[in-house]
Amino acid sequence: MEKEKARSIVKKWFCILLLLPALAAAQEEDTINGWEAAEPDQELELETNWLDDTHDVATDKAQALTEWMDNFFGDPEYNLEQAESQLRLEIINEWDEEDGYETSPRLRGKVQLPKISKRLDIVFSGEDSDFDSEEDRRNNDDGIALQYRLNEGRRSRYDLTLGWSSGPRPGFKYRYQGSFDERNSYRFIERIQYEIDDGFISKSQLDLNRALSPDNLIQWSNQITYGEDTDGVEWRSRVALRQRRDTDNDRPTALNYIAAVNGITSPHSFVKNYRLAILWRRQVYRDYLFLELEPGYNFRKRKNEDDRNTAASLTVRLEFALQRDMRKVRKP
């Protein structure tokens, strides 16, 4: 187990180090589309996509506040749907009362490949890490994949994906988002993927958002995963109260109060973990350095026959948001 963790960490750092020369070249030559952040008075000229169109036409409070929160918290789905390249390098320090202490890097986001195709991106994941439980974040490896945009409209988008683990992992991804009224919005995401070791797997996610005030949003996220190698239906549900503060300041702050539960249906149906957490996030330097503190408390059991144990946890993340520009996100 320790050797596997060590290999995983070495692999992550190796991928990041391989990428650094390309990032440096892009900074000097400005060859990657959307890579350089605009100067304060410079007009931004970006290729528009379905999310940009929705952003322009939406006047509802829920949609605008949800977009601000997704961008500020670095929501993986929001990053992958933007018209420009975005990368986030995270240094993650995790402590868990049961699992101990671990430090690891993570690279997330995407880089466009305009010289090959305007529809093709390199995607760095965990793209689901923001929704996964703390146990899944510890066990998941970051990866690199290709993402090809098949079609996009004002509210929907279709992608083909191709990743690599022990072999090729082809997949399909569909997203749709919209609003019920000015305070309530939704987003649905469906992924179907094939893995050589695990066969076909389907993952469905539905997010419901309600704006309580100009700076407060409640979000209910639900996810189910089913495949040839899953424990029946693996499900998760999370309710979060998201608050933004100091938005008139150059260094805004946001809070996320989280209550989450996850479980499985086979071979026995049971709840694996109940979790409470508070996520504090602040822009600490310029527009690219962020700090996160996330204390949490878990009431979990690994197997159905186990007794349920309590475990405190604490996560500290330092994030470098490469070429992020918060000024592009509309305030409701």
pLDDT digits (tens, 9 = 90+) for 302-315: 999 999 999 999 99
pLDDT in tens, 74-99: 565 555 555 567 788 889 999 999 99
- For residues 46 and 242, the model is more confident at 242
Structural domain harbouring 75: 2-37+44-328
Compute the distance between CA of residue 316 and CA of residue 295 in angstroms, rounded to an integer: 9
* Mean predicted confidence (pLDDT) in 120-146: 60
C-beta separation of 213 from 200 below 8 A = no
> Over 80: is that where the pLDDT of 331 sits?
no
CA dihedral 183, 238, 205, 290 (to 10 degrees): 80
**Which residues are registered as beta bridge partners of 174?**
158, 190
Reported as a pLDDT band with limits 50, 70 and 90, residue 268 is very high
Instruction: Please count the other Cβ atoms lying within 10 Å of the Cβ belonging to residue 250.
Output: 9
Quote the tokens at residue 133: 């439980």
* Mean predicted confidence (pLDDT) in 17-44: 42
Mean residue pLDDT of the chain comes to 77
157 backbone φψ class: left, alpha, beta (φ>0; ψ -120 to 50): beta
Element (H, E) at 95: strand 86-96
**Total of domains in the chain:** 1
- Long-range contacts, 79-82 (Cβ 8 Å, 24+): 79/108, 79/109, 79/110, 80/109, 80/110, 80/121, 80/123, 80/127, 80/147, 81/49, 81/50, 81/51, 81/157, 81/175, 82/49, 82/51, 82/110
**Which residues are registered as beta bridge partners of 271?**
263
- Amino acid of residue 114: P
Query: What is the predicted pLDDT for the residue at 45?
Result: 44
pLDDT in tens, 182-228: 899 999 999 999 988 889 999 999 999 999 998 899 999 999 999 99
Reported as a pLDDT band with limits 50, 70 and 90, residue 266 is very high
Query: What is the predicted pLDDT for the residue at 138?
Result: 42
CA 307 to chain centre: 32
C-beta separation of 184 from 208 below 8 A = yes
Element (H, E) at 275: strand 270-285
Query: What is the predicted pLDDT for the residue at 69?
Result: 64
Compute the distance between CA of residue 30 and CA of residue 130 in angstroms, rounded to an integer: 30
C-beta separation of 167 from 148 below 8 A = no
Instruction: Please count the other Cβ atoms lying within 10 Å of the Cβ belonging to residue 302.
Output: 12
* Mean predicted confidence (pLDDT) in 157-163: 93
CB-based burial label for 186 (10 Å; 0-12, 13-18, 19+): middle
- For residues 54 and 111, the model is more confident at 111
Query: What CATH number should be reported for the domain holding residue 168?
Result: 2.40.160.40
- For residues 122 and 86, the model is more confident at 122
Give the pTM.
Answer: 0.72
